[in-house]
């Protein structure tokens, strides 16, 4: 049974120390994301958006405060335990695709499923590539694919472990407007079918407007939050 709030951020601060100086990147961040919601985190460059996304996903740890994902307190987990939580509950889409260059499209999609010890992974991976319109490109390497095609492969990979929550960091940032819109439509379509919670970091106001709620950050502080 899904938890009511898939993500809970309470009094989170992130401070980087260098020499005698310290830089506060996030200051007293609080919000909750209900299961199945779509949320955009927006703000200018350097506002702390990507840092916040990393904390939410368990890729980094807060200096203070609490991050709960699927009712699991991430602060208390070891690196190995965090990896298990990410593999079980989390999907990622990045601006620069982050595909493995030595693997074909289908092999890139298969990797998370193989790590989970699933069966029939090739058939499942091919089905996901078909959903993103790339079944005929399954055996191409990333270098043989356009930017839009690479991002479609990363979409298929992100949904391969049936994540409870999907984090997307500027998913259309490296794409032209037309290709970006196609990726957006695919993302929301796949997300709707899977019933996944979606958290997107984006500069794109049109993309943010498609989500059910928007959190604005400036200078490491939430300046507004609205549905």
Residues 48, 62: Cα–Cα separation, whole Å: 12
Nearest to 3 by CA among 145, 114, 164, 113: 164
Full set of structural domains in the chain with CATH: 5-226 (3.40.50.300)
By percentage, how much of the chain surpasses pLDDT 70? 99
Q: What is the pLDDT of residues 171-227, one digit of tens each?
A: 888 888 888 898 899 999 988 888 899 999 998 888 999 999 999 999 999 998 877
Q: What is the pLDDT of residues 16-70, one digit of tens each?
A: 988 888 989 999 999 999 999 999 999 988 889 999 999 999 999 999 999 999 9
Number of H helices, E strands in the chain: 7, 10
Q: Per-residue confidence at 95, pLDDT binned at 50, 70, 90?
A: confident
User: pTM value?
Assistant: 0.90
Residue in the structure block whose two tokens are 């595909």: 99
Give, in order, the Cα–Cα distances in Å from 108 to each of 45, 112, 136, 214. Answer: 30, 8, 15, 31
Residue 158 has pLDDT above 70, yes or no: yes
Average pLDDT over residues 96-116: 92
Residues 42, 216: Cα–Cα separation, whole Å: 5
Residue in the structure block whose two tokens are 């996030």: 26
Residue 2's pLDDT is 62
Residues 219, 209: Cα–Cα separation, whole Å: 22
């Amino acid at each position: 049974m899904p938890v009511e709030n898939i993500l809970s951020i309470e009094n989170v601060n992130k401070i980087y120390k260098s020499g005698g100086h310290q830089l506060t990147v996030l200051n007293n961040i609080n919000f909750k994301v209900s299961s199945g919601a779509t949320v955009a985190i927006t703000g200018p460059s350097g506002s702390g958006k990507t840092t916040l996304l990393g904390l939410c996903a368990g890729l980094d740890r807060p200096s203070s405060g609490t991050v709960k994902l699927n009712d699991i307190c991430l602060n208390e987990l070891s690196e190995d335990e965090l990896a298990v939580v990410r593999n079980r509950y989390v999907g990622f889409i990045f601006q620069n695709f982050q595909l493995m260059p030595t693997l074909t499209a289908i092999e890139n999609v298969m990797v998370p499923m193989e790590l989970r010890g699933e069966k029939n992974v090739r058939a499942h991976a091919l089905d996901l590539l078909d959903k993103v319109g790339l079944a005929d490109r399954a055996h191409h390497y990333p270098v043989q694919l356009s930017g839009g095609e690479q991002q479609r492969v990363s979409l298929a990979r992100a949904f391969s472990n049936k994540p409870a929550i999907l984090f997307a960091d500027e998913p259309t940032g490296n794409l032209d407007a037309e290709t970006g819109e196609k990726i957006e439509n695919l993302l929301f379509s796949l997300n709707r079918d899977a019933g996944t919670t979606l958290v997107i970091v984006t500069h794109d106001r049109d993309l943010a407007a498609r989500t059910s709620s928007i959190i604005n950050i400036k200078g490491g502080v939430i300046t507004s939050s609205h549905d």
